[in-house]
Amino acid sequence: MTPAARYAASVDVLDGFLSGEPAEKLLSNWARRNRYAGSKDRAAVRDIVFDCLRKLNSYAQASGLPDGRGIAVGHCLSAGLDPDQIFSGVAYAPVALDDAEQALIAAAQASGGQQVVDLPDWLQSVFETDLGATATKVAQDLCHRAPVDLRVNVAKTTPSGAARALAAEGIMCDPVADVASALRVVENPRRVAGSKPYQSGQVELQDAASQALVGMLDLQAGQSVLDYCAGGGGKTLAMAARVPDARYSAWDISAARLAPLEERAARAGAKVTLLAEKPSKATYDLVLVDAPCSGSGAWRRNPEGKWRLTQDKLAEVQAMQAQVLAEAAQLVKAGGTLVYATCSVLERENTSQVKTFLRKTTDYEVVSTHNLGLNCPGDGFYCAILKKQF
């Protein structure tokens, strides 16, 4: 595919997204309809679309056009490409820009534009309330691509050994400062899933902030550990790799989300019990609650999330967080540890939830709290470690 043809495909996906369709579904459907497109073409179209989703407002302002064509024009301008060369109408290129579009683009470029925050208006207000003076910077940081991080399974290899094995397949990595288990892929990230180190369970895809969270936990051999709201079990496996001799259980309200953990655990050589029924007894030394959240700390990876989130959905998520935190607290033994975590940068999902919880209970006290900002060391993350007194 030519660069122009890639933009034409991206315009179709963007228009579908603006009409309410999920971006991943649109990209999958496009790939099925266009089987001639090679892996590099699919990756290029995906990159254009996701870059546009990160900067919808900025790219629309740059072109003066709020539709898929206009957002793609904004992407062209940002990439230093001449929109007339891309939107030429030749072969598989997008239809040529008409006089009205050309006039709007020229006017937008002449105006120089004002600072645009790539968030819905209502969400920008939430950021300003929760993040104060850092709101704009955090929103801007979320517009950049996230790094690809790997967790080295230290039960099978060492970080240096994994790095050498990956390098033998052309996948170059750097260590991540202060996160001993983490490698950051700097060349050929798309080869990871097919590599021998990944297939053999030596490495897993996992953001460095999630790994840093596991490093904060006081895990001990022989403990009974529950990953509540485990999802696919990434943190379960990280804990099991760090302290293999603890007893790990995982539960999630969605059996479908939890199901892949069985195969992943086998590949990693980890022993994990997948619970078919919701736990109900205080039998655990440590319970990790990776709570449902806005996902705002990970919007670099899932930029669609910031445009699909609504005020009602955010309120529902906050209510769910309070519920799962209260439920998980009932599962911890006296003297045990409760860990509340989110991949959110919003105070209302983090500190406020913990403060509300502590006002309603007398048997927990805070041991420590941790706000991991974007790039420190990975996604935005929050963690509160609580001790059950009796």
Supply the residues annotated as catalytic. Answer: 343
Q: Where are the alpha helices (DSSP H) in the chain?
A: 3-18, 23-33, 39-54, 56-63, 68-78, 83-86, 99-111, 121-131, 135-141, 159-167, 196-199, 208-216, 234-242, 255-258, 260-268, 304-308, 311-329, 351-360
My answer on whether omega of the bond before 377 falls inside 30° of 0, hence cis, is yes
For the sheet with 284-290, list strands across it: 272-274, 247-251, 224-228, 284-290, 332-342, 381-388, 364-372
Residue pair 236/227 in contact (Cβ under 8 Å)? The answer is yes
Distance CA 323, CA 342 (A): 14
Distance CA 378, CA 256 (A): 27
Exposed (0-12), middle (13-18) or buried (19+): which is 80, by Cβ within 10 Å?
exposed
Distance CA 309, CA 150 (A): 28
Q: What are phi and psi of 2, to 5 degrees?
A: -80, 160
Angle at the Cα of 333 (from 316 to 294), degrees rounded to 5?
A: 20
Report residue 66 as tokens. Answer: 């709020």
